[in-house]
């Protein structure tokens, strides 16, 4: 990508999109187009068409999505499947209509079967049933990556897709009703320490294992793929390392400095027993993550403190 190429980052206000914008700016890209959801409703086909007609972007990072944790996915499945299918379909079609040079679509590791062999290789897609608690979101994301493959097959578009593991970091969602596990735990421990609580309750048994990637590492991977990968198959992005939810909680607890007790509520759902991505494909291409779990959590905590916990309100 030339430094003055026009680059549209869809979802630039979100955790992933804002990290991609930071990464682009740090690399010297100067013509970055961003729109908030209030300025441009990506679910509106005509609005997206008009935007692409006016802006004519050269490259598109499709990071916009309706996202949430187990509770949100389980409670609002119709919203998750509709919003995500509309967003990605409108952007991918407009990218084709207006001759975008290259598009990167971001999916999620939840697209893989619930009981896929571990670590999960890209070719395990559609080889088994999905985790029921986020099936709606997963089906939408599978449709998005298949659209990229089929537009490449039928029209020759250079549309690629990447599947990140669980993400966290700056600009994360810390709402306890619909956030993912790491930001939810981080908020719980911070508030427990502030309020001198003696215990923190954690959903599930604590035994499921999860992989976590600091969002700025993901952004670097996205730029790497945009400049170095043109294949038809999706690419996993992760660390290749996982921890149990119990180990995660203990790590956050130590970094925050909470000294109370952990209570595991086994009546709450665990989700998939394990989700670890096989990242040998992207590692072999030449990219590897830089930030370990502890460093990433500390950086996120520093950002929360710098912003005076505003994201908790």
CA angle, 155 then 63 then 57, to 5°: 55
In a domain, 300, yes or no: no
pLDDT reported for residue 46: 98
pLDDT recorded at residue 67: 86
Q: Tell me whether residue 12 is annotated as binding.
A: yes
Question: What's 54's domain CATH number?
Answer: 3.40.50.720
Q: Is 50 labelled a binding residue? A: no
User: 18 a known binding residue?
Assistant: no
177, part of any domain:
no
pLDDT of residue 299: 98
> Is there a domain that residue 306 lies in?
no
| Omega before residue 41 within 30° of 0, cis | no
Give CA angle at 215 (11, 36), nearest 5°: 15
> What is the CB neighbour count within 10 angstroms for residue 20?
29
**Whole-number pLDDT of residue 133:** 87
The answer on whether 208 is annotated among ligand-binding residues is no
Flag whether 265 is marked binding. no
Residue 178 lies in a domain: no
Is residue 37 in a domain? yes
Q: Where are the alpha helices (DSSP H) in the chain?
A: 15-26, 45-55, 70-75, 77-97, 135-155, 181-194, 215-228, 245-256, 280-285, 293-306
Asked if residue 14 is part of any domain, the answer here is yes
The answer as to whether 101 is a domain residue is yes
Q: Tell me which residue range forms the domain holding 218.
A: 7-172+212-240+276-291
- The pLDDT score that the predictor gives to residue 313 is 77
pLDDT along the chain (313 residues), means of 10: 97 97 98 96 98 98 90 90 98 98 95 94 97 93 98 98 96 87 95 96 94 98 98 97 97 97 92 90 98 98 94 85
**Could you tell me if residue 198 is inside a domain?**
no
Which tens digits make up the pLDDT trace of 67-98? 887 788 889 999 999 999 999 999 999 999 99
**φ and ψ of 260, to 5 deg:** -85, -155
Q: What pLDDT does 69 receive?
A: 75
Q: Which of 59, 96, 112, 137 is catalytic?
A: 137
- What pLDDT does residue 217 have? 98
| 170 neighbors 18 (Cβ within 8 angstroms) | yes
Residue 57 is classified by DSSP as -
Annotation marks residue 112 as catalytic = no
Split into its structural domains, the chain has a count of 1
Residue 14 marked in a binding site: yes
pTM: 0.95
């Amino acid at each position: 990508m030339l430094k003055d190429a026009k680059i549209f980052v869809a979802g630039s206000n979100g955790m992933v999109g804002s990290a991609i914008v930071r990464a682009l700016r740090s690399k010297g890209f100067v013509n970055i187009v961003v729109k908030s959801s209030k300025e441009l409703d990506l679910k509106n086909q005509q609005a997206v068409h008009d935007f692409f007609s006016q802006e004519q972007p050269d490259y598109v990072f499709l990071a916009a999505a309706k996202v949430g944790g187990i509770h949100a996915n389980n409670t609002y499945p119709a919203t998750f499947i509709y919003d995500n299918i509309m967003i990605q379909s409108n952007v991918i079609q407009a990218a084709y209509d207006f001759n975008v040079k290259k598009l990167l679509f971001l999916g999620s590791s939840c697209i893989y079967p619930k009981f896929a062999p571990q670590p999960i290789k890209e070719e395990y897609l559609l080889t088994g049933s999905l985790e029921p608690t986020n099936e709606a979101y997963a089906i939408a994301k599978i449709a998005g990556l298949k659209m990229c493959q089929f537009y490449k097959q039928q029209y020759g578009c250079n549309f690629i897709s990447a599947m990140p593991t669980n993400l966290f970091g700056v600009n994360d969602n810390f709402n306890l009703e619909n956030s993912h596990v790491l930001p939810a735990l981080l908020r719980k421990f911070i508030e427990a320490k502030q309020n001198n609580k003696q215990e923190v309750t954690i959903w599930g048994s604590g035994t499921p294992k999860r992989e976590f990637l600091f969002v700025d590492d993901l952004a670097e991977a996205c730029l790497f793929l945009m400049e170095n990968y043109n294949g038809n198959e999706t690419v996993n992005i992760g660390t290749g390392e996982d921890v149990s939810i119990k180990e995660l909680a203990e790590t956050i607890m130590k970094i925050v400095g909470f000294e109370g007790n952990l209570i595991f509520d086994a009546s709450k759902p665990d989700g998939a027993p394990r989700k670890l991505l096989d990242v040998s494909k992207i590692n072999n291409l030449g990219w590897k993550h830089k930030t370990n779990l502890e460093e990433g959590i500390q950086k996120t905590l520093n950002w929360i403190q710098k912003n005076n916990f505003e994201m908790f309100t």
